[in-house]
Amino acid sequence: MRVLALLCGLLYAAIGCAQPPEVQRALIQRDQQSDEFSQQLRQSQEQLRVPPGDLRKEPKTDASQLEERQRLQNLNTQQQQQSVEPGTPEVLRPYERQKAADERREFVLPPAVP
């Protein structure tokens, strides 16, 4: 079982390493779009928890959500400009994609509830 998992991991790594920069860039962009959708969904659910007409909480929620969306968009733009540098070895491309996903994670996951 472990051998099979190891072989699958090696095969996945080999396939991931053989991706041209254009494919890697497209994968990062697709991940970004997915994260933007997840953020919108989470924010919509947060909006449903705000009582209608609550004039104190509603503007705060709107402002914080707008700020989160702008920060994610800025990060996405930065990642697109920096993604897959021409001199990056093919072996490191999957790690670049994972690093980009980790940077976006704080914008997608719901905040921790104390």
Residue with tokens 């905040």: 111
Contact 40, 113 (CB under 8 A): no
Secondary structure in 3-state letters for 3-30: HHHHHHHHHHHHHHHCCCHHHHHHHHHH
Residue 50 DSSP class: S
For 49-102, write each residue's pLDDT tens digit: 888 877 788 888 889 999 999 999 999 999 888 876 767 777 778 888 888 899
pLDDT for 29: 93
pLDDT at 77: 92
| pLDDT band for position 33 (cuts 50, 70, 90) | very high
